[in-house]
Amino acid sequence: MPFWKKKDNLIITAFVIVFFAGLAVWLDLCCVKAAFFSQSSVNPSDVTFIDKDQQSHTLKDFKGKPLVVNIWATWCPVCVKKMGGFHSFAEKFEAAGGQVLNISQDNSMGAVRAFYARQGYNFPIYLDNTGQLLDAFNGTGLPTSIFINAQGQEVGRIRGGFDWDSSEAASRVQEYFGLKIAN
């Protein structure tokens, strides 16, 4: 009997195809997105996002201080894994005079609140459930962290998992903003 006529072979083949298609979607196909979709012409400073009280904000509201914008989501495994280190980095960076915006791409404020409560995080909650901010920065995946100087200009960026407790994080803050933070 030919290979494709056996019911078990068809089921296994279908499972393998669905598995790899799901894996490709889960990995965000960042290279495909960058290759086939045009770069955004929207200025990131004009994109609105909301806080826990449903108040709208833009990056212009935070101009005047060194800023690290971390775009993440609770459904992103790398984001969740690296959030503990980012939280301790944020405390040191803010103590040195900077500000951190941890902007989630989740669909609901409730998911972010629940995640923060479980982990004991005290970040202010910001939400961009449209993904427009990441698109405006021409980002290709989560997490993406953007370093913005006091004049509102991007001076650096980190895409993907990063060890926020490392000396490299402190070096970047020193290089981009002239601020010293402890490792």
Instruction: Write the burial class of residue 94 (CB in 10 Å: 0-12 exposed, 13-18 middle, 19+ buried).
Output: middle
CA distance 113 to 117: 6
DSSP string, 107-162: S-HHHHHHHHHHHT--PPPEE-TT-HHHHHTT--SSSEEEEE-TTS-EEEEEES--
CA distance 85 to 123: 13
Angle at 52 between CA 113 and CA 112, to 5 degrees: 25
pLDDT (tens digit, 9 = 90+) per residue, 21-78?
776 766 654 444 444 454 668 899 999 999 999 999 999 999 999 999 999 999 999 9
| Residues 111-139, mean pLDDT to the nearest whole number | 95
pLDDT of residue 23: 67
Classify each residue of 106-130 as buried b or exposed e, where b means 16 or more C-beta atoms within 10 Å of its C-beta. Answer: beebebbeebbeeeebebebbbbbe
pLDDT (tens digit, 9 = 90+) per residue, 109-121?
999 999 999 999 9
| Residues 101-113, mean pLDDT to the nearest whole number | 96
Contacts with 35 (C-beta within 8 Å, 6 or more apart), sequence order: none
